[in-house]
Structure 1
């Protein structure tokens, strides 16, 4: 009787351990996921704008210390704070959103330090040009959402690129070539 009970207990522990160790995929919450970009404007100031529509998924396998991300940015959702400038940024000299309506970041290489993801190495495709980039994860927390009780992960990540490498070099070097991209994501676990 004791041996059957022990076998059942170990089987239960095995199932629970497998469930905890399984990879988890999280879908971006549209109301709390945004991408920002920052660049220097004529040496006067650092301008910050954002994209209002970002979708995608992130998968984390905590046990294997692996993960991936597949993020899509609607380039037409650029928000500079100025309707006139939004149109300028969407034009052929910069995002060229008629021809390239989205930007993407795809990664199958999540870097861990200890038990925490610290970076994602992947490919950024912007204006039809794909380049390798590393997103440094500056904040990451996974837990039950305090209002809904759903498993959530949230993170901030950043990288720097040169806009001239993505065929958007108009006005360089007067308008800075270096662009910092910041991503804030909150995502719900897929059931």
Structure 2
């Protein structure tokens, strides 16, 4: 009977360790979201959010995990103080009332231990919509400078800004937004 209990305990330890997850904290110096859109049919403009932070968990088998990312809308950076103020205003991100845009996911799709896509929910101005993100680059290794174990990725997605109450001047200013996401994160 003792043998049965020892085997049951070992099996429980193996199962719990197989389901364990590693937590990664985003590096604020190497994590940001840029966005681009058509401007009056003249050009494609690109801007970014400078303050993006969050946590990412990946299970030990590298086949599942979660993401919880916060984007400070007041950190929008266009290269123009005037335009930054406009995008922070009520007509766009309403940064005083909605200082954080959030992305959450519990559906990370892997192929050979590499994340290939992420499905989740994006909330901007209190409006939540599903979004699919395609990952074009994913790598993990020990950082030879900090000696921390890190993962990084490049990803992209498209969304309609009018769906998030950001549609002022549509169709003259394009409704489709292309997101480019750069993430580096250190394991806790």
- With normalisation by structure 1, the TM-score equals 0.87
| Corresponding position of 2:3 | none
Within 5 Å, give how 1:1-191 maps onto structure 2.
22-63=20-61, 65-190=63-188
Q: Secondary structure at the match of 1:92?
A: coil
- Offset of 1:20 from its aligned partner? 8.4
Is the 2:114–2:139 Cα contact (8 Å) retained in structure 1? no
Structure 1 gap segments, 5+ residues each: 1-10
Offset, 1:62:
4.5
Displacement of 1:19 after TM fit? 6.6
Verify the 8 A CA contact 1:163 1:169 in the aligned structure 2. yes
Contact 2:62/2:110, CA 8 A, preserved across alignment: no
Q: Counterpart of 1:165 in 2: which secondary structure?
A: helix
Q: TM-score, normalised by structure 2?
A: 0.88
Q: CA deviation at 1:176?
A: 0.2
Counterpart-to-counterpart distance in 2, 1:133 and 1:62: 26
Q: CA deviation at 1:113?
A: 2.1
Partner of 2:129: helix, strand, or coil?
Answer: strand
Deviation at 1:79, TM superposition (A): 0.3
Q: How many angstroms does 1:22 deviate by? A: 3.7
Specify the SS of the correspondent of 2:172.
Answer: coil
Pairwise CA distance, 1:158: 1.2
Distance across 2 between alignment mates of 1:168 and 1:71: 20
Aligned 8 A contact 1:62 1:115 in 2: no
- The runs of at least 4 consecutive aligned structure 1 residues that moved more than 6 Å come to 18-21
Aligned length: 176
